[in-house]
Chains A and B, each alone.
Chain A
Amino acid sequence: MIGEDELQAFIDDRLDGERRAAVEAHLAAHPELRERIAAERRQRALLRAGLQAKFDEPVPDRLRIANLRAARRGLRTRAWTNAAAAAAIFVVGATAGWFAGGIAPQALPTAAAPTASVADGATAAYRTFVVEVAHPVEVGVQQEQHLLQWLSKRLGRKLAAPDLSRFGYRLMGGRLLPGGSGAAAQLMYDDASGRRLTIYVRAADGTETAFRFRKEGDASTFAWIDQGFGFAVTAMASREELLPIAEAVYRGFGS
């Protein structure tokens, strides 16, 4: 006799040859049941085939274990190491530097590539949105908590908005952007005169690099990589003006 459990195992192709043959014989003798089982096997096959595309998609950066771990490690150790790391990173920055143009690419340290691409993304985003009058940000500062939760979730990293009030900048809000193979977050600040500054964050290869400075037209950018994420601070400002702000942002991302 064939039970319901065995019919299910038949639908799932989990019977050995002998039991399988027995079920097939039973179905041959019961056309109505045979039709039902055939329909349920088709449903199963259709569901598998239809969801295969989702399985084949490349895994987004924010789900990569290295990035998730970096975020976790960051939360645990940041408070202890921030001051020391900030000091060390500027020493490296002073010697390695980032010489945009003038020096052949092979002369640059290998870590320059991801930092450069973060700086590229940050500058492009800055140029696009800093001139935007109607919708400079997607979510305004009135909803700061929601904004930060949302961006944190999409980045796969806890994101806080550093307090830049001592430099005269206050948070306007932020937006989500495409960045590399995943998402990037942009936080926008402005000062009393309406000058805008952006902080740009996205997943990036690498654990730690020096600050890299670059100036493109009026826009200055400091970019760096820290524990699997790339950061960039961009503003219409001189290197000397921007450096202490970048330093504060670097330290601010610990909280």
Chain B
Amino acid sequence: MADAGTLLEPLIPALRRFAYALVRDHDAADDLVQDTLERALSRWTLRRPDGDLRAWLFAILRNLHVSSLRQRQRRGPHIDLDEAPPPGIAATQESGLEMQDMLAALDQLPEEQKSLLLLVGVEDLSYDDAARVMGVPTGTVMSRLSRGRQRLRSILEKGLETGRTTLLRRVK
């Protein structure tokens, strides 16, 4: 069997991208990826050898993200010492205001639509793999995808009509 490191390393850039789009904070995103990789290593022998490794990792990451969202809801808003966004970085990496608007609009979607748009539209997971990651039937994936994309479009269009200020980044 191929070594876990050899199989995992090439997938890390995609995991970082997915995590960043979900949490919109560079350090918090890498924390999430680190937790994901640690969990994957500790359960390496339990994974289904015929299953798609990428889908399995995205599923771990997304589950960790969802449970930390739930925790945060229970505890109320909480700012960690290292959670303050590093100044300047976001602006250089998300090219342009249009991109900022896009990510801000994406943040307004419910988690299950947001994750799905990223898994399918950016990470190129098949509809079946995306369904496995989200733990829903493929039919649900298709209808959520449709609803999510239309909602994203209407958020962006509303933003353009009423001016950019309505799309201020959601305060975490």
| A residues in contact (CB < 8 Å) with B | 4-5, 7-9, 11-12, 36, 39-40, 43-44, 46-51, 53-57, 59-60, 62-66, 68-69, 72, 139, 146, 150, 153-154, 156, 176
Cβ contact within 8 Å between A47 and B106: yes
Asked if B9 is an interface residue, CB under 8 A from chain A, the answer is yes
Compute how far the CA of A9 lies from the CA of B128 in the bound complex, rounded to whole angstroms.
13
Shortest CB-to-CB span from A128 to chain B, Å, is 20
Closest-by-CB residue of A relative to B153 is A39
Cβ contact within 8 Å between A51 and B122: yes
Contact count band on B: 35 or more
Most B CB contacts (10 A, CB to CB) among A9, A39, A57, A65 go to A65
13 pairs, A vs B, C-beta closer than 8 Å: A44-B121, A47-B121, A47-B122, A48-B122, A55-B13, A55-B17, A57-B13, A59-B12, A69-B41, A72-B38, A72-B42, A146-B81, A176-B82
Contacts A68-B34, A150-B81 hold; do A54 and B41 have CB atoms under 8 A apart?
no
Asked if B8 is an interface residue, CB under 8 A from chain A, the answer is yes
Cβ contact within 8 Å between B33 and A63: yes
Q: What sequence of 0s and 1s flags, for each residue 147-163 of chain B, a beta carbon within 8 Å of any chain A beta carbon?
A: 00110110010000000
Cβ contact within 8 Å between B41 and A59: no
Cβ contact within 8 Å between A68 and B145: no
Compute how far the CA of A146 lies from the CA of B82 in the bound complex, rounded to whole angstroms.
11
Cβ contact within 8 Å between A65 and B121: no
Compute how far the CA of A51 lies from the CA of B122 in the bound complex, rounded to whole angstroms.
8
Cβ contact within 8 Å between B21 and A62: no
Cβ contact within 8 Å between B95 and A43: no
Cβ contact within 8 Å between B149 and A43: yes
Cβ contact within 8 Å between A8 and B145: yes
Cβ contact within 8 Å between A47 and B150: no
Q: What sequence of 0s and 1s flags, for each residue 127-140 of chain B, a beta carbon within 8 Å of any chain A beta carbon?
A: 10000000000000
Shortest CB-to-CB span from A98 to chain B, Å, is 31
Closest-by-CB residue of A relative to B20 is A54
Partner of B38 from A4, A47, A51, A68 at Cβ < 8 Å: A68
Closest-by-CB residue of A relative to B126 is A14
Contacts A55-B16, A56-B13 hold; do A8 and B142 have CB atoms under 8 A apart?
yes
Closest-by-CB residue of A relative to B156 is A43
Cβ contact within 8 Å between A50 and B95: yes
